[in-house]
Amino acid sequence: MRTFYITWVAWLLVTGSLLAQATQLSGTVRTDDSETLPGVTVAVKGTTQGTTTDAEGRFALPLSASDVTLIISAIGYVTQEVRPTGTDVSVTLKPDVRQLSEVVITGYSEQSRKTLTSAISTVKGADLKNIPVASPDQLLQGRAPGVQVQANSGVPGGGIFIRVRGTNSVNAGNDPLYVVDGVFINNTNLIATGLGNQVPSNPLADLNPADIESIEILKDANATAIYGSRGANGVVLITTKRGKTGKTRLTFDTYQGWSKAPKTFEVVTGPQLAQLENERFVNDGGLSANLPYRPVASGGLGTPDEQPTYDRISDLFRTARTSNYELSASGGSDKTQFYISGGYFRQESIVRPSNFERYSLRINVDNQVTDRLTIGTSTALARTIRNVSSNDNNPAGVINSALYPRSNLPVFNADGSYAKYGNFDSHLALIQNLNNNAVGSRIISNLFGTYAFSPALSLRSSWSIDFNDVYENNYNNTLLLAGQPRGTATSFLSRDVTLLNEQVLTYRQTFADRHSVQVLVGNTIQQNTFQRTTLSGQQFPSNDLQTIASSATQTGSSTRSQAGLLSFFGKANYSFRDRYSVDASLRADASSRFGASNRWGYFPSVGMGWRLSEESFIRNLNVFDELKFRASWGLTGNQAGISDFASLGLWQGGANYLDLPGTAPLQLANADLSWETTRQWNVGLDVAVLKRRLFAELNYYDKYTYGLLLNVPVPRKL
């Protein structure tokens, strides 16, 4: 009995001790001016336990131990570590001057906008949150000066037209370089089906806009020269969201939308058409007795009032629906942070029958292995489905097939079949029977590691891949002119793979609180491989059997090309008291696309900045919150749009004689083929007044491109 009593007392003591340890910690987070802060992350150091402050800046956190350290962080404020001594704490966060001055992502580095000497436009994620768009390019419309963005076609997921400070080349490409989390995006259009000169593929349509944290557009040569032979047309840097320390946060977003054409084609009615035809006949000298539209009894087609009207335009347009669903999770401990998101997007075209679908998945992980080593990944997977139709300037497209026939001509024949006029299909036949499907698979992934030799010196190595695969299936059945007499089909399998390896060594240090220095050197190794297999078939036994293996006549072809790029680059920045800044960069590129005599290209740049607002003679005016003068000069190159084997002498097969295979010259070698080079200088002025409520960025620039590449036709034989 005594033993039982002692055991019972001991159990009560242990239970009381455990209950005493399970305490509820509460507190309030405020700013310097005693304003409460909502949305502040409060995490227990070394664990995944955490919470956020409510609208009143208060938080409550159950603790299983009394000796803990809290990590309190918020965007725009200095992160603090607090060791609570009671059950109620009060924390005051101080503004982070570095964040409030806005850190801008530049080529391979970050830099305060105060010391920036380049022309760079930034679009932050907070400005993009409530903009429902299909792809990231649409986020830039009207938000970056000097950047022109417009759709190449009205097809959902279709091509885009982005020009940064105008057009630089005649034959080479004019699209900017896209870099997503350090991965160079290949913007090759893989869709091979001819669609009336429109570009049906958008390289950015595979990205989910909801995953984007910020977009920087590098515009002048001082900002883009670090990208060398790919920087002449500007650079678009896209940074995606990453996890933050704290409790896992689940977010679900969805929106539904409908769109329609505000104005459609206006066509004449049947009676109006007949009246106009009669007027034309008389104006051409015809007799009134012989009018084409006169009573049937007198040999005419019937009077104008007797003519029917067939409305084809309403068949073209529809109220198109857009659907979007997003689910994301983010959080982590002080060692590992993650951001995972999945999305589904579907958009119908206003003009039937096109549509676009996208399934997306993103996984971003950061892990601090040791105090010196950090590793991580940024991986995006996407699957897209495009049903595209032939429109735009295609004379036999869906729209023209509805506009060409006269409005008094019937849509169907007497037997119920589609009525065709001239070389045009029935618009309904195209809408209801068009089968142009393109299914794409995209992997954009970056694995990286950063090792800090010291707080000032670090090495970053990354391995990246951009895998783009598109399978197209195009079948024209016998109801279409293109499918006569027994159906035709074409299939394309296109694949473009870009592999990239980069090393960047960065040194950053501040001396005596006034001299700031940043120096980086690095190298890039890139390989791009493109291949396409084409199959076609004619003469199908039935419209229900659409695989090429079912056709009576089958043909096929394939093509493959490869290109490589080797680069070395360096960049240095110096700033004195954030008042005077100077920087310079140099990149050397060697491309396999160019001749042996001009394989290497060198692209330097230099820039300077002077913050006049830090001078006493300006500061004493009490007018300007910011006044900075900038000037820069640099050279950039362009190899976009140049074929992989442009400098080589090529032969091609197919020059057969009877049953014997043969080859023939295709292209002459050009060992002197070299870069297109763009020289650009820029002068700018940044002005902020009224406590930074009003900000203006003024730039004057001059661009000059020389060494333009032009095609000169050369006969294969004398």
State the maximum Cα–Cα separation within the chain, in Å, rounded to a whole number: 132
Q: What is the pLDDT of residues 165-191, one digit of tens each?
A: 988 888 888 889 999 999 999 888 888
Q: Does residue 660 carry a pLDDT above 50?
A: yes
| Average pLDDT rounded to a whole number, residues 94-122 | 78
Lowest mean pLDDT among 11-15, 363-367, 495-499: 11-15
Q: For 661-677, what is each residue's pLDDT tens digit?
A: 888 888 888 888 888 99
**Three-state SS sequence of 102-136:** CEEEECCEEEEHHHCCCCEEEEEHHHHCCCCCCCH
Q: Which of 552, 544, 562, 500 is nearest to 525 (CA)?
A: 500
Per-residue pLDDT reduced to its tens digit, 365-403:
999 999 899 999 999 999 999 887 766 566 677 888 888
* 655 has pLDDT over 80: no
| Cβ–Cβ under 8 Å, residues 143 and 127 | yes
Helix (H, G, I), strand (E, B) or coil at 304: helix
Strand partners, 276: none
pLDDT (tens digit, 9 = 90+) per residue, 226-266? Answer: 999 999 999 999 999 999 888 899 999 999 999 999 898 89
Split at pLDDT 50, 70, 90, the class of 75 is: low
**Calpha distance 149→713 (Å, rounded):** 33
Phi, psi at residue 195, to the nearest 5°?
-130, 45
- Residue 515: how many CA atoms within 13 Å on its side-chain side? 2
For CA atoms 624, 626, 632, 637, the dihedral sign is negative
pLDDT tens for each residue of 131-167: 777 788 777 877 888 888 877 666 777 767 789 998 8
Q: Is residue 322 within 8 Å of residue 259, measured between CB atoms?
A: yes
- Whether residue 444 is predicted with pLDDT greater than 90 in this model: the reply is yes
The rounded distance, in Å, linking the Cα atoms of 281 and 287 is 8
State pLDDT tens for residues 567-599. Answer: 999 999 999 998 999 999 999 999 999 988 889
Residue 556 has pLDDT above 70, yes or no: yes
Could you tell me what percent of the chain has a pLDDT over 70? 91
Whether the predicted pLDDT of 100 surpasses 50:
no
Mean of the per-residue pLDDT values of the chain: 87
Q: Does the pLDDT value for residue 280 go beyond 60?
A: yes
Whole-number pLDDT of residue 165: 92
Instruction: Output the CA–CA distances (angstroms, integers) from residue 97 to 35, 94, 113, 504, in the order listed.
Output: 18, 9, 12, 27
Confidence of residue 196 (pLDDT cuts 50, 70, 90): low
List, in order, residues 6 or more apart from 35 with CB less than 8 Å away.
Answer: none
Per-residue pLDDT tens over the stretch 598-644: 899 999 999 999 999 999 999 999 999 999 999 999 999 998 878 88
CA separation for the pair 419, 411 (Å, rounded): 5
Q: CA-to-CA distance for 91 and 37, rounded, in angstroms?
A: 10
Q: Check if the beta carbon of residue 366 is closer than 8 Å to that of residue 242.
A: yes
Q: What is the pLDDT of residue 718?
A: 58
Mean pLDDT of 103-109: 85
- DSSP H helical segments within 123-173, as ranges? 125-128
Coil vs helix vs strand at 540 = coil
Give yes or no for a contact between 223 and 106, defined as CB atoms under 8 angstroms apart. Answer: yes
How far, in Å, CA of 311 to CA of 275, rounded?
Answer: 18
Side-chain half-sphere CA neighbours of 281 within 13 A? 15
Does residue 5 surpass a pLDDT of 50?
A: no
Dihedral angle of Cα 710, 563, 650, 647, to the nearest 10 degrees: 40
Q: For residues 124 and 75, is the Cβ–Cβ distance under 8 A?
A: no
Joined together, the tokens standing for residue 170 give: 């005649």
